Amino acid sequence: MHRYNCIIVEDEPLAAEVLKDYILQVPFLQLKGICTDALYAMDLLQKEKIDLIFLDIHLPKLKGLDFIKALKKPPQVIITSAYQDYALQGYELNVLDYLLKPIEFSRFVMAVNKLKDREPVETSLVPASAPERATLFFNVSKKRVKVYIDEILFIESLKEYIRITTKDKAILTKFQLGQIEEMLSKNGFLRIHRSFLVARNKIDAFSATDVEINGLQIPVGRSYKEAVMTILES
């Protein structure tokens, strides 16, 4: 059995202990060290061959995402964070997975099993696989539900919740529209109303008062009208 050398980069002792306990239960993982900051981790990466980093985002001295950017050839990275705000940025850096604390063991196992999916193919005759599609996970009825960003039609604000609508389903999750707008700002999403965020490439038709997506009419807010028309008519 191939074993993957891994390290934990985490400044909270309790969170690090949980990850250590999980790693020790997975036969193909070998823990090589626990680092309380990214600079210590950089030093360890010079001394050990590391295949996987369990990385917190809010670290002293150097933040987790900046740490990934600073590495020329980073190992696989699984982000472990109490904040979902950085999920999109993480996936743009090609992280293996994004785990939200508190982390359940079953979810941990799902994440580390992805290592096997990214093992290099031994023959050059096999065509390269397609790039991994960007996804986000949302809390829905005590489950973590995956949503492909390129399938989202629009998102509606419902006070403390948002409803994410795709062609095949709609999910309701506790989230703020402003937060998801920031996360999707680089993915072609457009705020057309204080309660609606839409995927620009999913718009079938539009007027000064509404846009049409998949047969549904979505209103354009008065205060958004000028900016929306300028973007859609450009």
The pLDDT of residue 141: 81
Q: Is the domain of 206 the same as that of 166?
A: yes
Query: Residue 123 above 50 pLDDT?
Result: no
Best CA proximity match to 4, nearest among 62, 76, 58: 76
User: Quick one: tokens of 101?
Assistant: 């604390």
Q: Is the domain of 203 the same as that of 106?
A: no
Query: Residue 126 above 50 pLDDT?
Result: no
H or E element that contains 97 = strand 97-100
User: What confidence tens digit (pLDDT) does each residue in 7-39 have?
Assistant: 999 999 999 999 999 999 998 999 999 999 999
Q: Is the domain of 87 the same as that of 184?
A: no
Q: Is residue 142 assigned to a domain? A: yes
Number of compact structural domains in the chain:
2
Q: Is the domain of 54 the same as that of 18?
A: yes
Least confident of 52-66, 124-138, 212-226: 124-138
Host domain of residue 155? 137-233
Of 117, 145, 166, the position where a domain reaches its end is 117
Quote the distance between the C-alpha of residue 147 and its chain's center. Answer: 10
- The strands making up 210-213's β-sheet, listed across from edge to edge, are 205-206, 210-213, 216-219
Give the domain CATH number at 27: 3.40.50.2300
Q: Is the domain of 157 the same as that of 218?
A: yes
CB atoms within 10 A of CB 138: 20
pLDDT mean over 33-56: 94
Q: Is residue 131 assigned to a domain? A: no
Q: Is the domain of 12 the same as that of 55?
A: yes
Please give the DSSP secondary-structure letter assigned to residue 224.
G
Of 88, 117, 146, the position where a domain reaches its end is 117
Confidence of residue 125 (pLDDT cuts 50, 70, 90): very low
Peptide bond into 127 cis (omega under 30): no
Confidence of residue 119 (pLDDT cuts 50, 70, 90): low
User: What confidence tens digit (pLDDT) does each residue in 66-117 have?
Assistant: 999 999 888 999 999 998 888 888 888 889 899 999 999 999 999 998 887 6
Q: Choose between 142 and 228: higher pLDDT.
A: 228
Give the domain CATH number at 153: 2.40.50.1020
| Bridge partners (DSSP) listed for residue 191 | 197
What percentage of residues in the chain have a pLDDT greater than 70? 93
Best CA proximity match to 190, nearest among 166, 160, 221: 221
Q: Is the domain of 146 the same as that of 227?
A: yes
User: What confidence tens digit (pLDDT) does each residue in 149-162 have?
Assistant: 999 999 999 988 89
Of 48, 83, 117, the position where a domain reaches its end is 117
Q: Is residue 130 assigned to a domain? A: no
The pLDDT of residue 124: 40
Spell out the residues 6+ positions from residue 193 whose beta carbon is closer than 8 angstroms to its own: 218, 219, 220, 221, 224
Spell out the residues 6+ positions from residue 176 whose beta carbon is closer than 8 angstroms to its own: 157, 160, 162
Query: Residue 212 above 60 pLDDT?
Result: yes
Q: Is residue 150 assigned to a domain? A: yes
Confidence of residue 53 (pLDDT cuts 50, 70, 90): very high
User: Quick one: tokens of 98?
Assistant: 């994004």
Mean model confidence pLDDT for the chain = 88
The pLDDT of residue 120: 47
